[in-house]
Amino acid sequence: MTKNHVLVITSQLDPTADAVVTELARRGCQVFRFDTAQFPQELTITAELGTQWAGGLRTKHRSVQLSELTAAYYRRPTRFNFPPQLAGAELHWAGQQARLGLGGLLANTSGWFNHPHHMAYAEYKPTQLATAKRLGLTVPRTLITNDPASARAFSEEVGAMVYKPFASGGIGDAEQPRAVYTNVVDPNDLDDSVRLTAHLFQEHIAKAYEVRLTVVDQQFFAARISTHSKSANIDWRTDYDSLTYDVIEVPHHVKTQVSALMGELNLRYGALDFAVTPEGAWVFFEINPNGQWGWIAHHTKLPICEAIADALIGTR
175 with 13: CB under 8 angstroms?
A: no
End-to-end Cα spacing for the chain: 17
Structural domains of the chain, with CATH: 5-112 (no CATH), 119-140+206-316 (3.30.470.20), 141-204 (3.30.1490.20)
Chain centroid to CA 20:
16
Could you read off the pLDDT of 29-64 as tens digits, one per residue? 999 999 999 999 999 999 999 999 999 999 999 999
146 upstream amide cis, omega within 30 of 0 = no
Is a pLDDT exceeding 70 seen at residue 182? yes
Please tell me the pTM assigned to this model: 0.92
Could you read off the pLDDT of 220-279 as tens digits, one per residue? 999 999 998 888 888 888 888 899 999 999 999 999 999 999 999 999 999 999 999 999
How many Å apart are CA 127 and CA 144, to the nearest integer?
12
Is a pLDDT exceeding 60 seen at residue 316? no
pLDDT band at residue 1 using 50, 70 and 90 as cut-offs: very low
How many Å apart are CA 40 and CA 306, to the nearest integer?
33
Residues 71-87 have a mean pLDDT of 95
